[in-house]
Amino acid sequence: MPRSKRDKKISLTKTTKKGIDLKQNVIKKVQNAVEEFEHIFVFHTNNIRNGKLKQIRMLWKDSRFLFGKNKVMAHALGRTESQEIQINLHKLASKIEGQCGLLFTNRKKEEIIEFFNTYREREYASAGFTPSETITIPEGPLPAEFIHSMESQLRKLGMPVLLKNGVILVLNEYKICKAGKPITPEQSRLLKLFDHKLEEFKVTLQYVWSKTDGTIEKL
């Protein structure tokens, strides 16, 4: 069994008391998970706050997904060989960068890799997303689900609409978004109202560390 060094104290400087408490909480969760689980995956996602992550957590209740500031998670693992809490974790800590998280699991590596290689979900696009298609709303009456009270909301979001006899009319063909051009917050809201899911949510596995021998594998 690899040596355990989780008793090491992690020093966090230039931080308020509240900030220190939050960071120490993340550190404690990470270090407890290191003790409990056999494998640690570093993964990236295009939207780490996405609600789809909640669905994945439900599917993998026997595993643990942890998020936090990259520097804090790296500190928890140990950023140098002398600080690491298990063999070679300082090497894994150096891979924590960008929009990422840690997955702790006792499941077989092959099972994890197979699942996430095929997992894809359509999602509503957030502001700043660049669509690959143009979405246009034709001139004329909107479907019945667009009730009369939504007319003001649609106008505020930029749509040329008019309420007539309780029905919302689009006065002329309206382009919600254009392919290749990043969308605004208003366009993001309109795409959701018209139920257009343009973004693909996925989790990309980057590295995996195994406790048995301390190996790190690039995926």
The tally of domains found in the chain comes to 2
3-state secondary structure of 191: helix
CA 208 to chain centre: 18
CATH code for the domain of 140: 3.90.105.20
Q: Give per-residue pLDDT as tens, 2-57.
A: 555 545 554 555 555 566 777 888 788 888 888 999 999 999 887 666 677 778 88
Residues facing 209 on adjacent strands: 40, 216
Which structural domain, as residue segments, surrounds residue 40?
Answer: 17-120+202-218
Domain check: are 185 and 105 in the same one? no
What is the share, in percent, of the chain residues with pLDDT greater than 70?
89
Residue 126 inside a domain? The answer is no
pLDDT value of residue 24: 83
Q: Look at residue 210 and tell me if it is in a domain.
A: yes
* 114 shares its domain with 139: no
Supply the CATH number for residue 103's domain.
3.30.70.1730
